[in-house]
Amino acid sequence: MNLTISGHHLELTPAIREYVQGKLERIKRHFDHVIDIAVILTVDKLPEKEKRQKAEINLRLRGKDIHVESIAEDLYAAIDLLVDKLDRQVIKYKTRVQDHQHQAIKHIPDTAASAAAHAP
């Protein structure tokens, strides 16, 4: 898994980098087939003072790309909100993939399966 953390109008400190990596451990614990993660942290220069810290993430999985973003007054709060949203989407994707893999077995009629087993 490749992890890229970048800042826009923001200097990335080791504390922020470790905080993001620690939060992303939760995603890896739920789903370990992650190919690539790109995190972009931004400070927007808006006229109003509230909601100016933005965190975005692009997560590449096999067969799907997930993009999540969150905005908050504090960068750490934006990261927390981002990881919560991402965690929900990854769990949703994981259950969808697992349900899809087992769906074909559920819908096989019993008569066709038994006839195929007894065919010479």
Tokens (6 digits) for 71: 């905005």
Find out whether 52 and 45 touch, Cβ atoms under 8 Å: yes
- Domain harbouring 78, CATH code: 3.30.160.100
Q: Is residue 35 part of a domain?
A: yes
pLDDT digits over 30-47, tens only? 777 888 999 999 988 777
**Which amino acid, one-letter code, is at 11?**
E
The tally of domains found in the chain comes to 1
Q: Is residue 104 part of a domain?
A: no
The parent domain of residue 82 ranges over 2-91
Report how far residue 83's alpha carbon sits from residue 69's, in angstroms, rounded to the nearest whole number: 9
Helices first, then strands: H and E counts in the chain = 3, 4
Q: Is residue 72 part of a domain?
A: yes
pLDDT > 70: percent of the chain: 78
Q: Is residue 23 part of a domain?
A: yes
What pLDDT sits at residue 13?
Answer: 92
**pTM for the structure as a whole:** 0.76
Q: Is residue 107 part of a domain?
A: no
Report how far residue 23's alpha carbon sits from residue 41's, in angstroms, rounded to the nearest whole number: 14
Q: Mean pLDDT across the chain, nearest whole number?
A: 82
58-67, 69-78, 101-110, range with the lowest pLDDT: 101-110
